Amino acid sequence: MAGTKRHIDQVLKNKLGNHQASITEADWDAFDAFQQKKKPSRKGLFYLGAAALFIALLSTLLFLNRNTSVDSPKAANQPRNPAPQTEQGNQLATKPSLSEKESVSNPTEESEINANNNEEETSANTAQSTDHSSPGNTLPSADNETGADIPSTTPPSTQVLGTQNIESTPAAIERNEEVKLSRIAPRVLRIPASQLGRFEHAYIAAYAPKEDKDSNKNLLKFVKKLPPMGPCIAVGLVYGFGTPQLSLTPGDPEQEHKDYAATEKGTSSRSNVFRFFGQYEYRIKAGLEFGAGLQFSSVTQVRKYSFENRNIPFIGPDDKILLYIRIPSNQSVDPTVFESRQNIYSATVPLTVGYAHAIGSKLRIGARVQGNMGLNWSKAYTNLNPKSLAETPSAGNSNPLNIGYGGGVYGEYFYLSKWSLRGSFDWTAQNKQYKSGNSYNLQNRFYEIRFSLVRYL
Amino acid sequence: MDGQPTHSEALELARACARGDRSAQKQLFMQLAPRMKSVCLRYAHDAEQAQDYLQEGFIRLFDKLDSYRGDSALETWSTRLFINNCLSLLKKDKKIREQTTVLDEKADYADEFIEVDEDILDADQWLDIMQKLPVGYRTVLNLFVFEEKGHKEIAEILGISENTSKSQLFKARRMLKELLTPNGGN
């Protein structure tokens, strides 16, 4: 009456090891409905998250910038070509920024102001002008700088625009109170000439009337024509070169040819990357800068292999290597030669942190580190089958998530008041490009040359 | 072996599914679901949970099919993925750890030889009985018997100690035996 007695584990395995449950069309319909409800949200969420992060960062920086600049709305909102004015203080208030290389040769000569607005000529150069036509613009000499000679509001001697990190009001400065510095945004400010000595490290541009050359000398020692702090937008191109770092995942001996590791070296390889990017950056005092943007990359990796496969694997019905058939060394074997090629396209959101230092009035050097995250798209590549050592298509095995990091140095040349060209040299790395093992896994290591066109806002 | 797709057919079908071809997805579902559902029924505590595991598993399968390169049979590859999916869903419930950390760490759980009549139950009845086991017992039993994992591996997979894994298996076999005796299940 009783059947064969076996160990309970064996019975379970016999009964359920290859068991197949019943499935009907209704199961598919239920799954299909479930899939339609669930699947689209995954990629959408990723894009939404990346976009939200970028927008949030951009908005925060813009908001902070606007918020801290609100103290000088008149200066910001006034037309750049105002009607000629005779009162020097008012004219000064229309100057938007100091580090723009704007120069004003004479506040009463509107045409000259316009002509100089975006020229290379610096305020320092203009200050050397020798036109003394307007006595009302005379600056006090250093010997004659006393608070008693200067009116408390919009004094004629207030002939300097402080545009960098000064938060104190002109009145507070005039009262000799401690100067408060802004943490983020520049602002336009009139500084009494008598107080200039307190701002050695502030970026100050002189309003330089032509008529008093001697007085200008007193101001010029404070003039630092450094690039503006605050936001800028950079767009650019990148070319990178390097060799992918290969890592061979130790595999199952039944799933991996015993000579697989020997093919790792290959015969030659080359890789390159092209990128296009746009980035929003914000610079705060102390030279620190932060950036976020969007970057599209195209990575090509080519690796050639040539080897003799003398151990032919015999693969069993369960798709595992059972044994090897050895081709004797006295028999010739055609070498296996092929080229492994990968093309990976990616869209990433880079985040950068850097530090920059000005050298003179037109140059800036800096260093920065970056991290980025985004998506990969792979296209038409081949690889080596770890079991048969034959060329095999492996499209689709690319890791969809692109995580990279790197850093480098750069130099920036300001050829116009708000425009600059930046060249940088970076080293970058990226996460493994294949999702899983049993194959060579590629990790990009590139040296990159990056050119950017930068517009300061 | 009749009706089984060839290697190249399986690869082609997998690629079509990865591209989002719904008719291919349906074909693959109908082809794999019987086996995968059986796997899910082994890990789940009832049919409803198994259905959830099955659906989640196929979502994950279609998402990962672009990484299938045909190195192993599609069914084998899919089974591994479903098992991992079941384990990951079970871990989310945190029930495994709760139900597997109460036993004596120092006890010696020798490999008890429990014999049963092979024909006493059919496959569906065995599944019913397995589902009556606590989740910790059931999971360890599955990994040991069907996935042929050692206790060390099971301990690593489930985040438990090796001795706990042994004890779970010991208790699982005993409980199965009890459930097989008349009125044992009640």
Its ipTM equals 0.84
What is residue A248's three-state secondary structure?
strand
What residues contact A30, with CB distance under 8 A and at least 6 apart? B51, B55
Q: B96 vs B93, B126, B136, B145, CA distance in Å?
A: 8, 21, 5, 17
B177 lies within 8 A of chain A by CB: yes
**What confidence category does residue B170 fall into, taking pLDDT thresholds of 50, 70 and 90?**
confident
- Looking at chain A, which residue has its C-alpha nearest residue B113? A7
- Looking at chain B, which residue has its C-alpha nearest residue A319? B72
Q: Give the separation between CA A70 and CA B16, rounded to whole angstroms.
A: 58
Q: Give the separation between CA B42 and CA B93, rounded to whole angstroms.
A: 17
Nearest CB to B118; choose among A6, A23, A387: A6
Q: Where are the alpha helices (DSSP H) in chain B?
A: 7-18, 22-43, 47-64, 74-93, 95-100, 123-132, 135-141, 151-158, 162-180
Q: Give the separation between CA A204 and CA A191, rounded to whole angstroms.
A: 9
Distance of CA A386 to the CA centre of its chain: 38
- Distance in Å, alpha carbon of A382 to nearest chain B alpha carbon: 11
What residues contact A45, with CB distance under 8 A and at least 6 apart? none
3-state DSSP percent of chain A in helix, strand and coil, to 5 = 25, 35, 40
For residues A333 and A382, membership in a common domain is answered with yes
**Hey, are the CB atoms on B71 and A387 less than 8 Å from each other?**
yes
- Is A60 contained in some domain? no
Indicate the helix (H) or strand (E) that contains A347: strand A336-359
**Hey, are the CB atoms on A396 and B127 less than 8 Å from each other?**
no
Residue B39 contacts residue B79 (beta carbons within 8 Å): yes
- Distance in Å, alpha carbon of A224 to nearest chain B alpha carbon: 58
For residues A359 and A305, membership in a common domain is answered with yes
For residues B19 and B64, membership in a common domain is answered with yes
Of A96, A103, A109, A107, the C-alpha closest to A123 is: A103
Which of A16, A315, A399, A432 should be substituted to probe chain B, the one whose Cβ sees the most B Cβ atoms within 10 Å?
A16
For residues B15 and B51, membership in a common domain is answered with yes
Chains A, B: CB contacts within 8 A come to: 126
Per-residue buried b or exposed e for A232-255, using 16+ beta carbons within 10 Å of the residue's own CB = bbbebebebebebebebeebeeeb
Give the residues of chain A that fall short of pLDDT 50. Answer: 1, 67-164, 183-186, 200-226, 437-438
The CATH number that applies at residue A364 is 2.40.160.20
B121 vs A contacts (CB less than 8 Å): 15
Rg (CA), chain A: 34
Give the count of domains, chain B: 2
Give the end of a domain, one of B93, B117, B150. B93
> What integer pLDDT is reported at residue A352 of this predicted model?
92
Give the end of a domain, one of A170, A190, A220. A220
Q: A440 vs A298, A321, B94, B107, B153, CA distance in Å?
A: 20, 19, 36, 45, 26
Residue B161 contacts residue B171 (beta carbons within 8 Å): no
> What integer pLDDT is reported at residue A53 of this predicted model?
79
For residues A445 and A356, membership in a common domain is answered with yes
**Hey, are the CB atoms on B18 and A396 less than 8 Å from each other?**
yes
- Distance in Å, alpha carbon of A4 to nearest chain B alpha carbon: 6
Burial of A274 (0-12, 13-18, 19+ CB in 10 A): middle
- Residue A440 tokens read as 């060579």
Provide the mean pLDDT of chain B: 81
Per-residue buried b or exposed e for A81-110, using 16+ beta carbons within 10 Å of the residue's own CB = eeeeeeebbebbbbbbbbbbbbbbbbbbbe
For residues B89 and B101, membership in a common domain is answered with no
- Is A438 contained in some domain? yes
B37 vs A contacts (CB less than 8 Å): 20-21, 23, 27
> What integer pLDDT is reported at residue A69 of this predicted model?
42
Query: Which tops the pLDDT comparison, B64 or A105?
Result: B64
User: Which residue is listed with tokens 């998530």?
Assistant: A401
- Is B185 contained in some domain? no
- Is A206 contained in some domain? yes
pLDDT in tens, B93-130: 665 555 555 455 555 566 667 788 877 788 888 888 88
Q: Give the bridge partners for A339, in sequence order.
A: A304
**Hey, are the CB atoms on A22 and B34 less than 8 Å from each other?**
yes
Give the count of domains, chain A: 2
> What integer pLDDT is reported at residue A275 of this predicted model?
93
Q: What is the pTM of this model?
A: 0.40
Domain containing B130: what range? 97-180
For residues A179 and A290, membership in a common domain is answered with no
Q: Give the separation between CA B147 and CA A316, rounded to whole angstroms.
A: 20
Which of B55, B130, B174 should be substituted to probe chain A, the one whose Cβ sees the most A Cβ atoms within 10 Å?
B55
Domain containing A80: what range? 72-220
> What integer pLDDT is reported at residue A438 of this predicted model?
47
- Residue A394 tokens read as 């492996």
- Distance in Å, alpha carbon of A11 to nearest chain B alpha carbon: 6
A30 vs B contacts (CB less than 8 Å): 51, 55
Query: Which tops the pLDDT comparison, B10 or A391?
Result: B10
- Is B1 contained in some domain? no
B119 lies within 8 A of chain A by CB: yes
For residues A196 and A241, membership in a common domain is answered with no
B62 lies within 8 A of chain A by CB: yes
For residues A434 and A345, membership in a common domain is answered with yes
DSSP readout, A368-435?
Answer: EEEEEEEEEEEES-EEE-TTT-SEEE-TT-B-SEEEEEEEEEEEEEESSSSEEEEEEEEEEEE--SBS
For residues A203 and A318, membership in a common domain is answered with no
For residues B78 and B142, membership in a common domain is answered with no
The CATH number that applies at residue B31 is 1.10.1740.10
Q: A60 vs A54, A187, A242, A352, A368, CA distance in Å?
A: 10, 18, 37, 16, 21
Distance of CA B112 to the CA centre of its chain: 23
The CATH number that applies at residue B173 is 1.10.10.10
Q: Is the pLDDT score of B178 beyond 60?
A: yes
Residue type, A311: N
Q: Give the HSE-up count for residue A406: Cα atoms under 13 Å, Cβ half-sphere.
A: 23
B148 lies within 8 A of chain A by CB: no
- Is A4 contained in some domain? no
Q: Give the HSE-up count for residue B2: Cα atoms under 13 Å, Cβ half-sphere.
A: 0
